[in-house]
Amino acid sequence: MRFLTHRWRIYLTLGIAGLLWNTGVALAQDVGLTLEVMNNIVTTMVLVIIVMALLILVGGLIMFMRLRQLDKLVREQRSKLAEVYARYQELQGARKRTENALSAISSKTESDVTPTAGDTMKLEFVAHMTQAVALMTLGERQYAAQDYGGALASYQQAAELDEDNPLIRYRAGYTHVQVNQLDRAMSHLNAALEIDQHYLPARAALGYLYRRLSERPDMDDRVQDQMLEEAEHHLSNALMNAPRLLDEDGEAWMATLAGVYRRRREYDRAITVYADASKITPFSSYPYAGVALVYADKNNHVQMFRNYERVEWRARKEIGAHPTNPWGHINLLLARVALGRDDKLIEEEFTLTFLSLPKDAAFVLPSLLSSLRRLEWALADAKHPARAERAAFLVRRIEHLGNNAEEHSTQFLSAMPEDLKRRTTDALRVADNGDPRKGTDNLPDTREFTESTAEWPDID
């Protein structure tokens, strides 16, 4: 009986233990499932947070790019507005003078009395203004035809008739710079700024004048640095209000400022400003020729060759539109020497360069000589001895010929082979309205560098 009682207790204990075990297992499984669910929830929340953060970052980046575009657009519109305002001021001055003249004529027409001394003076004033405008237009055409002496005579007469016209003073000063009469240029440009201190073209031209003053051979380094500082000051002030301002040759004043930085060996600033100039005049070879020489001075020969390819394209376009453009011919000559083009092409362009030289221009040949010398050093350093020797030969040839461009150009034509003479003469008469690269596609490419032009970064 006692055995049965103990047996019953053992079974009861085992039953209770089994029940407790099963209950514990069930609870453990429920806890595991709960933990797994919680883990999934936490993982999902982390992924959602990451996605939201990425969306916020992308949205912020898009907004930042939009704001940059808007800021760029606002700055461009402000520069255009400043340029328009400068033109507006110029037109306002002309309008006031015209209104005064018309008022004098109207009062004279409405009065039936005998003309007084005052009426006579008003009529003389109107006549002088009319003559001044006619002379200014004539001077502009003479300058475009490279008759700098005739243009100066016309501007001088116009200034005597209309002393308070800043445009006449500015154009006279700019032309005096071209013929190296820098003292007279200073007088006219200062007079223009005395008439209107906010006349930006005259301010920019004054900076150009100081840059030319810094190039005098008898100037020591300290004075030269002062001249370049003055040049930067005036050009920066003018371009701050009208960055797209152009000179009388249709080039961006921004490129002139870049030239100041290049002469001060501030190469990175020069590259940046040349890039800005190339955006203002994208089809001009001037900023690209300048930045090519900057890269030559920095011993970055890949970028030098890259930009001379751009120069070649644009210079051909310029010459096609204006066959007597001396700077277009000079830039094309430099590009062909740098890129190792055919000897006949270089000889042809050398002749055309001399044929296009203005009789009174003072800085064209010195600029060509300086550029050829720097190009010679860069080509020698870039391991192109044949091209460097060609540049050195052209330097010696120009020094031997001197400044009498007209006489020597005639000698060139008389000594040229008939086929080259015919091509040269035709190039002066006929504008090439097609692809500026036309005519060079079948030429042997003598470049020795292997970098792909598509991989070269643009200067802008």
Burial zone of 444 (CB within 10 Å; 0-12 exposed, 13-18 middle, 19+ buried):
exposed
Write down the pLDDT at residue 124: 67
Write down the pLDDT at residue 52: 84
User: For the residues of 67-86, what is the DSSP string, one character each?
Assistant: HHHHHHHHHHHHHHHHHHHH
Write down the pLDDT at residue 355: 85
Predicted confidence pLDDT, tens digits, the chain (460 residues): 555 556 666 767 777 777 777 776 666 666 667 777 777 787 888 888 888 888 888 888 888 888 888 777 777 777 667 666 666 666 666 667 666 665 655 554 445 444 555 556 556 666 667 788 888 888 889 888 888 889 999 999 988 888 888 999 999 999 999 998 999 999 999 999 999 888 999 999 999 999 999 888 777 888 999 999 999 999 999 999 899 999 999 999 999 999 999 999 999 999 999 999 999 999 999 999 999 999 999 999 999 999 999 999 999 999 988 888 889 999 999 999 999 998 888 888 888 888 888 877 778 888 889 999 999 999 999 999 999 999 999 999 888 876 444 444 444 434 444 444 444 444 444 333 333 333 333 333 333 333 333 333 344 3
Look at residues 240, 235, 232 and name the one whose alpha carbon lies nearest to residue 78. Answer: 240
Q: To the nearest 10°, report the CA torsion of 127, 128, 133, 136.
A: 150
Q: What residue ranges do the domains of the chain occupy?
A: 283-460
Write down the pLDDT at residue 415: 42
Distant-in-sequence, close-in-space partners of 429: CB < 8 Å, separation ≥ 6: 323
Write down the pLDDT at residue 449: 32
User: What pTM does this model have?
Assistant: 0.65
| Radius of gyration over every alpha carbon of the chain, rounded to an integer in angstroms | 38
Q: What CA–CA distance (Å, rounded) separates 266 from 443? A: 37
